[in-house]
Amino acid sequence: MKNPYLKLLLVYLAGAVTVLGFAPFYLFPVPVMTLAWLLALCHKNRNPLKNAALGFSFGMGLFSAGVTWIYVSLHDFGAMPMPIAVVALIILCAYLSLFPACGLWLLTRLRVASPWLWGALAAALWMLSEWLRGTLFTGFPWLALGYSQAPYSPLAGFAPIVGVYGISLIIVFSATLLFFWIENVRRNWRWGAALLTIWLCGFVLQAIKWVQPEGEPVTVSLLQGNISQDLKWQADQIEHSMETYAQLILESDSRLIVTPEISIPLFNDVVPPAYLAYIAEHARNVKGDVLIGLAERDHTDGDAYYNTMFSLGSSPEQSYRKHHLVPFGEYIPFKPLFGWVIQVLQIPLSDFSRGGLDQQPMAIAGQRVAINICYEDVFGEEIINQLPQATLLVNVSNDAWFGRSIGPQQHLQISQMRALETGRYMLRATNTGVTAIIDERGRVLETIEIFTTAALHGVAQGFTGATPYVRVGNYPVLGLAVLLLSIGLLSAFRAAQKTR
């Protein structure tokens, strides 16, 4: 370990191994162990730049192993040349790795003497770095450590209180406790006692019922058309998509039928009216509603168009426009600088407009349904804008962009965390998978095989009430992190004054 290059390589591998904590592996103790080793190295090293390098190397391992599906999206389906796609992925991973690097740099600069405060600061700074990563430039919070604990870890019991970022803070603090416990196992048992107490508290919290069932369960059908991404937008395939989803809809007698996002690759104003009327009539016959994904053209706002879900059936027609768009996939940020990307990527409709953040749940199928489209369910602080009014959550996605990578399974786990945070069922209708019914405790009740054309039929229970996270969001954990950082800065200032 005296060889700095070997150390960086091993830390890189530790970051890659951390991916085992996330779906589809669900080995939730792994991030605690890899973080414990990383923080042990940082605690023994007093050089801020060297620790920043360790954080950067760990991040490169984590992201290069964990977001390889981005290459699939860019190259396999976006037609980006392989060398450019590889370079783009490396640049993205390097950018994401700057956040843990900066956190460990600042942690070392503060030179806190107390091990307890050092551990608390490490947790606060890591959590703040994740929050910043999930906020700056519209955010990319994928692989936030807290997701690794959904839904099986005892720490999942904290999700309805502190959300995913709060669990990240607890993971890193647990890692510091584990490190100090192993280092002082014979001399100081308090580290182990604190660690076990935290995890036991999470286990106990899982027994608390934050929300209450409302009404009878509703029958649902979640449709998976399995339309190949490289064929979906071809003109001769549109009729096939329409026929596939029409057949799946007509075969269902559920009160709530959900198609994936833009399941019919047409603008709403060019879809044959008879087609939509036929679907609406079927929904009325079963006394239910269909949610169908279309691109919506707004003629009152120039050339604006939206990624929209429309309701058809027994209830009055309603719609939801996607608010949080995917950079370089659904819109091009900083067009004067990155406008050339449109010429490289062959992605249809890559300049959507944003829907409003204040949209309310749809009143359909006897429920109040909060819809989020694809990437939107990565942002828990935005999902709660439709709560506690909503009784059900629905996520519609097209994870065909991820191919057969681990991306769809990671996306499923993110939805599991949203269910835990809000105390609501999450219904996922996707083009190729993972289509699933997730209960209010984040457990997958039913799913269907990926890359098959099928409908998932089941029931979903509506819930009312609000978890603490729904009421206050990320503010308490952000406030705690800022408070700990302030204490660390004050401690470092006092230490500096004494050395003068």
Catalytic (active-site) positions: 261, 322, 374
Scanning the structure block, which residue is given the tokens 């009729």? 239
C-alpha 419/C-alpha 151 separation (Å) is: 10
Nearest alpha carbon to residue 428 among 464, 452, 392, 383: 392
Q: Distance between alpha carbon 129 and the CA centroid of its chain, in Å? A: 16
Q: Distance between alpha carbon 16 and the CA centroid of its chain, in Å? A: 19
Burial of 375 from C-beta contacts in 10 A (0-12 / 13-18 / 19+): buried
Q: What's the per-residue H, E or C state across 261-313?
A: CCCCCCECCCCCHHHHHHHHHHHHHCCCEEEEEEEEECCCCCCCEEEEEEEEE
Scanning the structure block, which residue is given the tokens 């950067």? 56
- What angle separates helix 115-133 from helix 82-110, to the nearest 10 degrees? 150
For 322-453, where are the E strands, in sequence order?
Answer: 362-364, 367-373, 392-397, 426-430, 436-438, 444-447
Phi and psi at 22, nearest 5°, equal -95, 170
Query: Who's near 492: CB < 8 A, 6+ residues apart?
Result: 109, 110, 111, 112
**Taking the alpha carbons of 343, 344, 349, 350 in that order, is the dihedral positive or negative?**
negative
- CA dist 391 to 214, 223, 316, 370, 372, Å? 8, 21, 18, 8, 14
